[in-house]
Structure 1
Amino acid sequence: MKGIVSQSVKEVLQSLVDDGLVQADKIGSSNFFWSFPSQRGAMMQHRLTAVKESQASYRSQIKELHTAIEMETAARPGSTERNASLSRLSAAQKELEGLVTELAQYGACDPVKVEEKKRAVMLAKEAAVRWTDNYVLLLGHFTRQSCVEPSEIKKYLGVDDDYEDIC
């Protein structure tokens, strides 16, 4: 009557139920929807309490981590030997990063990749030989069984005259 589509009302109500702004219940064959202002306030209060509790737990974790860091730094006094070892470690890490970038630049000449490509080429060649052998065997079988010229079978299969057998 008023130009409101009932399906759009259902969609709006469903979105409000999904957002938790409206409650829904089915009683018998009827669906009832309701919303109380105090319920929204209680939900927000519950959410605020949960956030405050998680904030307190995170702050306590941060304090524990700070104390653990202080304890570990106190347990490892800064000696000249330790400082020298740390400097050697950082130098070795920088050298490793440099070598990794250099290895990445030589990626095409990487022995592992070259070996993988060799294996892939060998497998491809074996597959090509196998398929050409199968083709030759089937061609021979058809020519013997049906007494048809091989050129006619090649023409029917769409095989060009420049086909070469891989040896």
Structure 2
Amino acid sequence: MSKKRGLSADEKKVRMLEIFHQSKDFFQLKELEKIAPKEKGITMQSVKEVVQSLVDDHLVDSEKIGTSIYFWSFPSKAKNAKKRKFNELQNDFEECCKKLRKVEDSIATESVSRVQSEERTQLLSMLSDLEKKEEKLKKELQKYRDSDPEYIAQLKAECQGLKTAINRWTENIYILKSYIKNTFQMDNATIDQNFNIPTDLDYIEM
């Protein structure tokens, strides 16, 4: 017969919250240490750690009254905490969008005659960082039922637009190289060397 699996940290937190939400009452730690093992299968030794974790996550309130510390949480507390977390994620998304728009504006104002490979490298690095952050935020948002998928779609569109802008910038470099080659009879290697254009310059896959 297989050994019974113990509760995970998240399962303990969910069950502990059920004690508060179902009773809508106030508890001292010693009371929870008696109730949790009997009603929710949470070992007495882990009750203090689970309760403190819920307090740290702003899902349970605590207050010292006299010499005793009381803990409580109502269903609306969890909802408000989730809403606050979602708002934080929304702010992160907005910051990403602002950065993307700033990069797009910078690319749009670049002159064709100013071939700066270092700038392009920085843009590619920024794009990579933003895509990684987008993926991380998408995973975080999936934890919340009231998350809005429009933000994810918006960030995807912004990233796609940035890729298009970078490819347009690359196309301008190719056009400039062609002009210099035909006008001054210079070969590609000489042009690349004089304008610091990387030999592996290429378009980004869309």
Give the shorter-chain TM-score range.
0.3 to 0.5
Larger radius of gyration: 1
Greater helix fraction, Structure 1 or Structure 2:
1
TM-score normalised by structure 1 residue count:
0.42
TM-score normalised by structure 2 residue count:
0.35
Higher RCO by CA contacts (8 Å cutoff, separation 6 or greater): 2
